Structure 1
Amino acid sequence: MMPAHQPLPSGIALEALLVELRRLSWGAADILLAYGRGEQPPYGFARALSVEEGGEGPVSAADLAVNRWLLDGLAGAFPAAAWTVLSEETAKEQLTPGEPLAAEWLWILDPLDGTKDFLQGTGEYAVHLALVHRGEPVLGVVLLPEMEELWLGVMATLSGGAGEAWCENRAGDRQPVRFSGRRALGELVLVASRNHRDQRLEQLLAALVLGDTRAIGSVGGKVATILRGETDLYISLSGKSAPKDWDMAAPEAVLRAAGGAFSHADGRPLAYNSGDVRQAGCLVASHGLSHLELCQKVAVAMASIDPGFRL
């Protein structure tokens, strides 16, 4: 049975919301590009001082500026909206461990996903915005400033029709999602983290015997490679730390709206605003063509690699 159509909160029209999200996204891109290049950022934000000068570093300055831009933008455009906004930058003040926020509708924001890549100048960082309804992401925005790509995904439960995802440039020109046609596990191309890998992940990849592997920074950037057809799957295997709600919500919404899949390796869906922002376990994102088979093989391999590990 298809899920019931769930409109947006009272007074919010989808097209008007998308217009505002485009404005906020490209504004965030301008802010991050300026900080990354050591230039004066727009919209009145202060230029970052270098660490050597005893000032605020470019990453924290960029984080805080984009966070303020997004929070103020949503509040200004939709002052009466019946939703709550949770950002990585405000989570410590907003959250109580073990207690979900009392919000039917929740924005989950990451103003800068991929801080190491931002610092290293790889360009592989992203901005994430996701609208979550009762624990499930229904709208996602993944912005890749350096690539001038804005990925948008609207789930069927929100649109009332089929789920849809696409990529836009600054001019508003749209490009469709182009999943690869690769199905056999031996042909699939995996996109993995450059900075978050451990021995268990290396063992898992060896057990799966996939076709190839690429390394990309942010989660949003990884999922974008799947949406372009360059890769086919992404696996997150928690080690000492785990990704958080703001790492996964927007990329999941865009990928699933496009017809892809994103789940735990045992098939469980990801849950947001659960009282624990950690997205722990073994998470698998893919173009969907071999998702069930892939998850089954991952589960079998992990039972040998790390017995007792909760997928």
Structure 2
Amino acid sequence: MMPAAAVLPAGIEEEQLLAHLRRLSWGAADILLAYGRGEQPPYGFPKALSVDEGGEGPVSAADLAVNQWLLDGLAQAFPNAGWTLLSEETAKDQLTAGEPLDAEWLWILDPLDGTKDFLQGTGEYAVHLALVRGGEAVLGVVLLPEKEELWFGLVPEQRAWRENRAGEQQPACLSPRRALSELVLVASRNHRDQRLEQLLEALALGDSKAIGSVGGKVATILRGETDLYISLSGKSAPKDWDMAAPEAVLQAAGGAFTHADGRPLRYNTGDVRQAGCLIASHGGSHQELCQKAAAAMAEIDPGFAV
């Protein structure tokens, strides 16, 4: 009998790791909330300068500050950990097209997912942290600063829960809806095209609601408020850091997040784009959703690789 694969790198204890992730996540929340309100951020980070003042505005300042906070925090807390750190902000310097990083264990971080929502003041932005091994996300953290909500997902343990700042925990609670005509879609505010509208018409779903950030969308599925989210790439596609953490939490909760042909999402493949027709759901109707979506896309956009 083959031994079970390690859940975490050698020498890393789960409770110790979760404790540091809590500290870093709530620190990131404080940084983002301060920048979003035009206040002085904590931990010595500079106040955002407007473009007129010679700066790049609050989004860039917040993004870079949280990026530094997370990378420095993980490096200082675990100086001997056998993992590599990759974030949206460092990818340009770390990655070579077509070449995966040489890392058995890889953190994929998005310090600010939902920049338009951050800038527009909707509050629907998130922070993503995912630990990946062999191309698969094994641990996910999704922070929703404005909701004071922190989601954890441990995929091998099939355990997902949310916490508030007081540490009070609630498990994920996926909805019991199963008929496609009853399913509630959570959709993007800013990324919709005609093909997606045609696909949704073919699926004949029930209600829908618009939420920013992939992490924010998946959190509505985890709370049972909605049932599915569809990402349909066009001229651009979401990246590894957009999907890895939300996918891990959803998988850990018993949901599903795959391509429309059933293929699982993979990370650190040499191509950070998560292209195709990706479906995240509570899992109960996932196979039917995938089959109908794949058939519909074959007519809507022949040759499109789902």
User: Structure 1-normalised TM-score?
Assistant: 0.97
Post-superposition CA distance 1:39-89 (Å, at most 9, x none): 000000000011222223100000000000000000000000000000000
CA offset at residue 233 of structure 1? Answer: 0.2
Correspondence list, 1:136-285, <5 A: 136-156=136-156, 162-285=157-280
SS of 2:182's equivalent in the other structure is coil
CA offset at residue 176 of structure 1? Answer: 1.3
In the other structure, the counterpart of 1:130 is 130
> d(CA) in 2 for partners of 1:225 and 1:2?
37
Change (3 A) 1:310 1:109: same
CA RMSD of aligned residues (A): 1.2
> d(CA) in 1 for partners of 2:280 and 2:27?
29
Between the two proteins, the alignment pairs up a number of residues equal to 306
In the other structure, the counterpart of 2:289 is 294
> d(CA) in 1 for partners of 2:272 and 2:229?
20
CA offset at residue 212 of structure 1? Answer: 1.0
* Unaligned stretches of 5+ residues in structure 2: none
Change (3 A) 1:48 1:209: same
Post-superposition CA distance 1:1-58 (Å, at most 9, x none): 9993423212110110000000000000000000000000000000001122222310
User: Structure 2-normalised TM-score?
Assistant: 0.98
> d(CA) in 1 for partners of 2:57 and 2:34?
13
SS of 2:42's equivalent in the other structure is coil
SS of 2:30's equivalent in the other structure is helix
CA offset at residue 204 of structure 1? Answer: 0.4
Q: Which amino acid aligns with 1:168?
A: E
In the other structure, the counterpart of 1:70 is 70
- Confirm or deny that 1:81 pairs with 2:81: yes
In the other structure, the counterpart of 1:102 is 102
> d(CA) in 2 for partners of 1:274 and 1:5?
20
In the other structure, the counterpart of 1:34 is 34
Identity of aligned residues (%): 82
> d(CA) in 1 for partners of 2:261 and 2:56?
43
> d(CA) in 2 for partners of 1:61 and 1:299?
41
> d(CA) in 2 for partners of 1:253 and 1:150?
14
Is the 8 Å Cα contact of residues 174 and 222 (structure 2) preserved in structure 1?
Answer: yes
* Unaligned stretches of 5+ residues in structure 1: 157-161
Q: Which amino acid aligns with 1:307?
A: P
In the other structure, the counterpart of 2:117 is 117
Change (3 A) 1:3 1:241: farther
In the other structure, the counterpart of 1:52 is 52
